[in-house]
Copies of this chain bind each other. A is one copy, B any other.
Amino acid sequence: MSKREIKVYSDLSGANAVWADKIRKLREEKGIVMLNLIGSPGCGKTTLLEKTVESLTAKQRFAVLEGDIATTRDAERLHKLGVMVSQLVTKGACHLSAKLVHKAFVDLPLDELDMVIVENVGNLVCPAGMDIGETAKVAVLSVAEGEDKPAKYPRLFREAKGVVITKTDLLPYVSFNMEACLDDIKQINGTIPVIKVSAKDGSGMGEWVKFLTSFSKNQH
């Protein structure tokens, strides 16, 4: 054996924790809340954000980081509405890494922001266990997906600090047992807030914006 020191190569999740901690520290220095929206492909994350822009702009200075595997479509949708938005393209990876988020985060005008909303890659599984230095993970579930998803994908609902149930305007047309869903969420994560919204008909949107701003010390 040679006498040279043993080199230690951290695994990827270890490296992720380092980047997540950098984000967390910088966030706390700057007083910025970061919310990490996680849900299935097509659960309505981007549409929810589109419909949130107007009322949130009145209360918070915010930017959006849009996660996607391959395209810049979602960022373009929000850019059209005048939102400060960056696109994080994972090139095939199933979740955002803290390193990629950090890269985009430090490029934001942090002194002019109260809040950064991260829309993660559409996926109920992989982003749930990944620390990106966020203030809170928020689970997004559409009624079109069925009430059994919290029980089937418990990790996200356990890690989240809030659940938003989207597309409630579809309730008359889909089979979705709200009571069973709420029971399962309660069993997984106690008294976590659950907000029911329809970005289409606007119901619940006030409560949703109130929930978002509840994380922020900077109320305008």
Question: A residues engaging B (CB < 8 A)?
Answer: 40-43, 68-71, 73, 92, 94, 121-126, 129, 142, 144-146, 148-149, 151-155, 167, 169-170, 173-174
Contacts and interface: CB of A to CB of B under 8 A. Distances in A.
Contacts of A123: 94, 123-126
A155 to B, nearest CB: 7
Interface of chain A, main secondary structure: loop
Contacts of A151: 70-71, 73
Contact of A124 (B41, B142, B167, B169): B41
Contact of A145 (B42, B126, B154): B42
B73 A148 contact: yes
Contacts of A142: 42, 144
A129 B94 CA distance: 11
